[in-house]
Amino acid sequence: MLRTIAAVVVVCALNAQAQSVSLEVGGMRAGVDVRMEAPVAQAVVEATDGFRLDWAPAMTARLAVSGPVGLGAQVWCDGRLVGQFAVPFSWDGRPGQVCRVLLATPDGTLVLDRQVTLAHRRQVTLVAAVQAPPPAVVVMAPQPAPMPVAVVAPAPLGMPGPDFDALTAAVRAEDFASDKLGVIRSAIGTGAFLSCAQAGALVDLLDMSSDKVEVVTIVRRSLVDPRNGFALQSHFTFSSDKEKVRRLLGP
């Protein structure tokens, strides 16, 4: 006689792990490997210099800024402005993407400048520990024009002075051009941002024109003021190299 035995195993766990479960049905013993998946618990990362990051599960790699309400915001990724927002807001990016968040009051005063790395299927929420601007006293008038939110552009910013001095010292310490370029490539790979003036200083540390062009190739997507890219051409002697720089930086 053939006997069909159906067994249903329901497993609930708080931590994801694999276990072997032994079942005995009708005198027959069998081993079953069960993988238990658990939801990822929310983790909160506290900081002490004016902001807090909250991580939570999400459907995408999402950046959110929840406060203070009333500030203006810019989000920069890969050296490009990807959006301007009014707090609170959320924006979907790519896992592993390093984003720079700038928050400013309506009068243009920069109050926060932080880098945040996005994660797969996680929402990272940034909360700035600053005072929101008090509401303005507005005299009622017929059909008043809306007041735009002014945000400070990061053009004058870039790598902090001490960090850039350390970078240039490390480049000078190398004897070979390939090693110098490797140091610059490593710095940019960590999510560092540069101004065009700083990029020009790095170009001057290389001797061969082809190596100088390679510096621009490495840093071009990490420039906070790409509109000033024309200034990089003054660091090159030959017209052909200047044309290569123009093509790398775009119109």
Q: Are 51 and 115 in contact (CB under 8 A)?
A: no
Render 100-143 in DSSP notation, one character per residue. Answer: EEEEE-TB--EEEEEEEE--TTEEEEEEE-SPPPPPPP----SS
Render 200-217 in DSSP notation, one character per residue. Answer: HHHHTT--SHHHHHHHHH
Backbone angles phi, psi at 57, to 5 degrees: -60, 150
Q: Which of 13-22, 98-107, 174-183, 206-215 has the lowest mean pLDDT?
A: 13-22
| pLDDT reported for residue 115 | 86
| pLDDT reported for residue 141 | 59
Spatial separation of the C-alpha atoms in residues 243 and 59, rounded to whole Å: 44
The domain spans of the chain are: 43-128, 161-249
| pLDDT reported for residue 7 | 30
CATH hierarchy code of domain 43-128: 2.60.40
Alpha-helical segments (H) within the chain:
161-173, 177-189, 196-203, 209-219, 239-249
Q: Is the dihedral of CA 110, 116, 118, 122 positive or negative?
A: negative
**3-class SS of residue 189:** helix
What is the arithmetic mean of pLDDT over 61-87?
86
Backbone angles phi, psi at 218, to 5 degrees: -70, -40
Q: Is the dihedral of CA 233, 153, 75, 189 positive or negative?
A: positive
pLDDT tens track for 119-178: 888 888 878 776 545 555 555 656 666 666 554 444 446 889 899 999 999 999 999 999
Q: Is the dihedral of CA 180, 182, 183, 189 positive or negative?
A: positive
Higher pLDDT, 144 or 36: 144
